[in-house]
Structure 1
Amino acid sequence: MPTLNEVARHAGVTPATVSNVLRNRGRVGASTRQRVLDAVDALGYRPHLAARALAEGRAPTLALMVSSIANPFYPEFALAVERAARTSGHFVIICNTNEDPLNGRAYLDQIAGTLSEGVLVTNANLDFADLHTTESRGTPVVLCMWERPNEPPGLPCVAVDFRLAGELAGAHLLELGHRRIGAIVGSKASGIHAARYEGFVDALRAAGVRKGPIKHAADTIHGGYTAARALLEANPKLTAIYATNDLPALGAMHAAADLGLNVPSDLSVIGITDIQLARDSRPALTTIAVPTVEVAELAVSLLRELIETAPRCEGGRANGPPMRTASSPRLVVRASTAAPRKARPE
């Protein structure tokens, strides 16, 4: 592999000039710049990113921490992050914690501030103390998809009003005429989906409707399948199921099919997020769409701001960590919800 010194010799310039041309820095004449670029093309030179990071004390990459790359939401979000990062010349490293905080800590220790210039964090089950430690070492951190805009997390973040998302889901089912509604929450009672369920309950309470049976489950299709089957077997008169994410909602539709129920004639199902699978399922899933691309763009923009201002913010921020709030979630009506039948067999 050709070196920077070889490019310099080929172009008849100093290595510093080659470096300035490749980084678009300093004053380099047009003819000299073209000679350097021609030499780069002729030799097939490619910068060594790790060496540059060590030499300059900064890396042209951003780290994106995700809890499970097997969850189809995260590849979709990662694609949006990658597109946004490329506009500033950054690459993205995907760090899959596999829902293990120890894996997340290892990534933060080994990548943050060395291979990556900043860290974007989704719902990766990371200890906030580890994130604060990363910040204190000079590597900016931004939380993506923070679910409670009214409760700042103490770290820079991009927030989405997921309580409103749950409220919109509940209101849709109520408007269709459903009153016997089960719920599947894709986390523990105090977990990351709690606000989504609280919003759903708010909608029921406002309409004077008692909340129905609830199951907490893994945020997966299988978790939704198991939870929905248990709900429907124990409560055969349910006419609708609300799931706090699209994957459990898809699992609920699978469970309904295995129990001989038609969606939406016998059972309406609604989720939250609007992943591609929600659009491709049959029937297509009614869901509450969240602004995934907008969140990715806001998160990358905020992280870039923090990277640029980090040396000037060592004394702390007067107004606390910055928060950007994305557009409100919106209802997307598809084929998995309809008005309930007047009567349903036991």
Structure 2
Amino acid sequence: MATNGHKQALTVRLCGPRGFCAGVDRAIQIVVAALKKYGPPVYVRHEIVHNRYVVEGLRERGAVFIEELDEIPDAHRDRPVVFSAHGVPKSVPAQAQARDLFYLDATCPLVSKVHKQAMRHQRHGRHVLLVGHAGHPEVIGTMGQLPEGTISLIETVEDAESFRPPDGAPLGYVTQTTLSVEDTAEIIRVLEARFPDLQAPAAESICYATTNRQDAVRKAAPGADLFLIVGAPNSSNSRRLVEVAERSGARRALLVQRAADLPWDEIGEIAVLGLSAGASAPEVLVEEIIDAFAARYQVSIELAVTAEENEVFPVMRALRDVELTRADMAFVNGAG
């Protein structure tokens, strides 16, 4: 890190796009706006997005995170409850209605699009294949849009090779929005080879933000001594970025939540550092990591930009009259 009192040079290849996507911006803004309009507490079912920094920041503002709606006391049934950006099964809003709860659905519009594509397949009499990871909230939400027995989860190429359709039913597929583009393409190739009449979704299921972040990492990875992805361990899109970095030429890739988690003893001698962030990781944490390296190295920044993102998803009508301060919007946009 230092030679004869001088800092060692380090090139940081900073990916763009990185960090928050439009769906995450919208979800966080919904919670912040609900707290402004209705006051605390505002309940949030599941982590609004998979990031500890964001969750703790919202908790400090008065958000109460729960896993199930029955955790809301009867005395608080008039308080808002927000559904996370990952989407929920149909049973969740049905339960909310049965308890007469006031809910705000922060499901990412691109996840909602996948729900609609799955339901469209079913309306056309197709058995639905969902390419995704078991247990992920988005997968649970998508599978929960359809009656049991009408949708099957395909996680791997081996699953694609061994799947047997029920009673020779026609098939259609959708995918989780945060998957590896390469892995998903391989699984779909196997399925299409086995089932030539397999129907694709009306539009791409993997979201633009996932694809853009993977493309930027792919561009920055060759020759990188170390590639850091800022994100949470339970963030699917962040874990996929680690895999993309390793496959694309980085000597090593790690997932870190923030600067305090950097394993300095393991980093060793590096000259080129790749850096990106998953779609639920705020920019303030990327800056924190750059500052941590700048304290130890002579850092120069090299941009690896593959796309510009201008998408904005508006909040629901009930919250559009809420005026957020500059500080509120800085938090919403990941700047602090």
State whether TM-score is above 0.5.
no
- Greater RCO structure (CA 8 Å; 6+ sep): 2
TM-score by length of 1: 0.32
Higher-strand-fraction structure:
2
Larger radius of gyration: 1
